[in-house]
Amino acid sequence: MIFRFNRVVQVATTCLLSSVWSVNAAAAVGRRASICNGHSELCDKSYGNVTFIGAHDSYAVGVNNLAVNQDYDVTQQLTDGVRMLQVQAHNNSGTIQLCHTSCTLYNGGTLEDYLGKVKSWMDSNTNDVVTLLIVNIDNLAATEYDTVFKSAGLDSISYAPSSASLTADSWPTLGSMIDSGKRLVTFLDNTADFTSVPYLIDEFTNIWETAFDVTTSFDCEVNRSKTDTSTSMYLINHFLDKVLLGNPVPDVTNANTTNAVSGTNSLGEQVDTCLTKTGKAPNFILVDFYEYGGGSVFQVAATANGVTYDSTSIATPKSTASGSTGSSGSSSSSSSSNSNSAESSRQHWIAALTIVISIAFGASHAL
């Protein structure tokens, strides 16, 4: 009787454990992201067929400084909807620093500190895929970046592709990336090594770019590439510069127009030009001062992605007193007056700084 009772208990326990395993397995198989980068419609779209707004020189934050390209730091950028973060990395006495042209000109802090902010935001926003684009100024080895990524805890959520180069249609869906927990995609513009660090992906064998440091009008011509541009992803550099004492500097005066949905030299116009030329929307759009236009850059991306634009308010420009702008990039007369006054002050600072920099580095030192 005791043997029979023990046998019954054993069978019952086995059945119970088997049932629990089956339920858990079914749940794991059925687990699937329902909202991806803010929209359910994007979950089934390939990463290579989604348009992402990017912050050009996302670490270069401040006002009244010709070396900055953004008003708000990376945390606010991500909160407002930026999903590509471009940085410029330098070797500063053995530490990877985020600097603009030179660490003497502008030092945005260490890469490790910056990545820590990205990790913190991504930990709190688990249904978003984020892209990093690292301009590797000093040609540091991929393994040196790997060390910093591991220190920041980002290696564990970094996506490693199946091969060093993928066509736009070969990338996984946003939903599958979110489900797998591999939600960070990082590109290096040089020295990527797929064998040693597969999650640091070579940019130009996967992405082609349009021209940068534009001071006139935007087009959709291939400027840099090492791949078949007919099948790869592509990035448009949509930030307008002006020349000051021989150096290109961000043209914040025209940022509302540059970031606008429509109009001459607007973001919407360049995207339409690219659609006509390539048959597909750009994958990545790099902009300066993304909040100018009151969300217009995100409206352009939403249209490209075929989703409804979420007009939730975003941060307001720091160089305007009222910060009130419309989605088309227009502003009230009062805002315009305040903006002109602030811009005049900004330009005085820029002129003074440029003179100092020109003396220290030479007028040909690129910004």
- Report, as residue numbers or ranges, the catalytic residues: 56, 100
Q: 123's torsion region: left (phi>0), alpha (psi -120 to 50) or beta?
A: alpha
The token duo for 250 is 């961000």
Produce one character per residue of 236-270: b if its CB has 16 or more CB atoms within 10 Å, e if not. Answer: bbbbbbeebeebbbbbbbebbbbbbbeeebbbbbb
Inter-axis angle of helices 296-305 and 267-278, to 10 degrees? Answer: 20
String of DSSP letters for 89-158: EEEETTEEEEEESEEEEEEEEEHHHHHHHHHHHHHH-TT--EEEEEEETT---HHHHHHHHHHHT-GGGB
CA 141 from centre of chain: 22
Q: What sign for the dihedral angle of Cα 191, 193, 199, 203? A: positive
The token duo for 322 is 């009222």
Q: How far apart are CA 241 and CA 324, in angstroms?
A: 23
Q: Which of 286, 106, 296, 136 is nearest to 204 (CA)?
A: 136
SS3 for 9?
helix
Contact 271, 282 (CB under 8 A): yes
| DSSP conformation class of 70 | B
SS3 for 356?
helix
